[in-house]
Amino acid sequence: MSSIRLLHNYWDEPADNLDSFKLSLVTRALKIGMRHSEHQRLPVDPSLLRKLCTLCDEEHSSAGRMLKCAVLFAFYGFLRQSNLAPRRASQFDYTRHTCRGDILISKENGISILVKWSKNRQTLSDKIVIPLPTISDSAVDPYIAYMDMVKDTPTTSANQPLLLLPSKGPARVVTIDDLRRGFAGLLAAAGLDARLYSLHSLRRGGATTAYTAGANPRDVQLHGGWKSQAFWGYIAAPHEHSAVAGALQRAASATTRPHSAIGSAATSSQSRG
């Protein structure tokens, strides 16, 4: 701002004082923008996912089984934290948040999640069904994790929250803060710095894993509910254009003689001349 005021003075133009109302609005906007700037966290990869699930199993508790289900759903479903739980128990809304009735199970399709609402899906027509993989007899099978959790906290209504914990009275609604604390505890138990990860690391890790395993970028985008190319920012892997560059490099290398061969050919031609 001082530089801009200096330019005004250079051109003999009036400049706003640094304490003017107009500039105070600008500085306030800058502070808000910087405070809410997104800090990219590390993604959770399959090996870390297995380790976190093993730690959940070792707890032998309802909280461990609930957390395992949340971790696997977020990873395989590319779910946002708001899809898993409300910010406060009193804010739970069955028309927006994921309920037990939104978990669809069939012999043909396995387990799927009906996502009704997110920051870019706010109408009934935007509902999507996200299929989860079936990994039989595995510590990272979302179906087994869900069924184990349901045994701890059975519900009487399809509109009850997905994530609940047993209590003396009615089951307690799990909140986003509960998930954050539980996830940070798992990371610490795994010997990792929890500050380098967040619940978003599961969404990012799932998308990265699918992409690097060969999933079509468009399918990754649809699975995670991204409506723009912003989903590339969630993938911790080289952009698909790098594969094009690699293919061009291989093609060019296969049809181009090495420099040494070119030099030898030129020398031979000159000697014959």
Q: Could you tell me the residue ranges of all domains in the chain?
A: 2-35, 46-234
Share of the chain above pLDDT 70, in %: 80
Write the CA distances from 232 to 79, 200, 218, 260, integer angstroms. 16, 14, 11, 41
C-alpha count within 13 angstroms, C-beta hemisphere, residue 158:
6
The region of weakest confidence among 186-200, 206-220, 233-247 is 233-247
Range with the largest mean pLDDT of 103-107, 202-206, 217-221: 202-206
Higher-confidence residue of 253 and 60: namely 60
User: Considering all CA atoms of the chain, what is the largest pairwise distance in Å, rounded to the nearest integer?
Assistant: 100
Average pLDDT, integer, range 174-191: 97
- For the chain, the average pLDDT equals 84
What's the confidence (pLDDT) of residue 269? Answer: 47
- Say how far apart CA 71 and CA 78 lie, in whole Å: 10
SS3 104: strand
- pLDDT over 90 at 32, yes or no: no
Average pLDDT, integer, range 152-163: 95
At 103, the pLDDT band (50, 70, 90 cuts) reads very high
What's the confidence (pLDDT) of residue 154? Answer: 94
At 161, the pLDDT band (50, 70, 90 cuts) reads very high
- Say how far apart CA 96 and CA 123 lie, in whole Å: 10
Instruction: Fill in the amino acid letter for 216.
Output: N
SS3 60: coil
Higher-confidence residue of 236 and 272: namely 236
Instruction: Fill in the amino acid letter for 175.
Output: T
| Tokens 């030129």, located at residue | 266
- Superfamily designation of domain 46-234: Intergrase catalytic core (1.10.443.10)
Average pLDDT, integer, range 23-38: 66
Tokens in use for 190? 């795994």
Q: Can you list the alpha helix ranges (DSSP code H) found in the chain?
A: 2-10, 21-35, 46-59, 62-77, 81-84, 142-152, 176-189, 200-212, 217-223, 240-255, 259-272
Residue 159 has phi, psi (to 5 degrees) of -90, 5
The total of other beta-carbon atoms located within 10 Å of residue 103's CB is 20
